[in-house]
Amino acid sequence: MPLFVTTGCYTATSAKGMIDNPSNREKAARGVMEAAGGKLHSFYLTTGETDWMAITEFDDGADLIPALLVISASGAVSNVKTVRAYTGAEFKAAQQKAGTIASSYKPPAK
């Protein structure tokens, strides 16, 4: 099944809420991902441009969207971004397929 890496930032309101009432954010992320039909592989608090990162597995990227809509609509996070992650084996298969179709493409400059 496809893997997805999602990152985001907590809002100032969320930060205050976590200080006033500490909670397990991994548990919260797991709950919403499972409710949407996916699986949370891992959840990390991060430093730098984003505050958190979740690695999830869903049958289809469209299945992840409802979970992200719920999270974003809560106002608890901002700057949510998701990318599809590929395993080494998946990328190797893509390279092999590229080799078989390469002759079908004619660049405009030639």
Q: Residue ranges of the domains in the chain?
A: 3-104
Supply the pLDDT for residue 76.
95
Structure tokens at 89: 């084996």
Q: What is the Cα–Cα distance from 107 to 4, expressed in whole angstroms?
A: 32
Which residue's structure tokens are 């907590």?
Answer: 10
Chunked into runs of 10 residues, the chain (110 residues) has average pLDDT values of 96 96 95 97 97 96 95 96 96 96 89
Q: What is the DSSP letter of 3?
A: E
Supply the pLDDT for residue 25.
95
Give the CATH superfamily of 3-104: Dimeric alpha+beta barrel (3.30.70.1060)
* Geometric angle at alpha carbon 90, from 81 and 108, rounded to 5°: 80
Closest CA relative to residue 46, chosen from 16, 79, 87, 1: 79
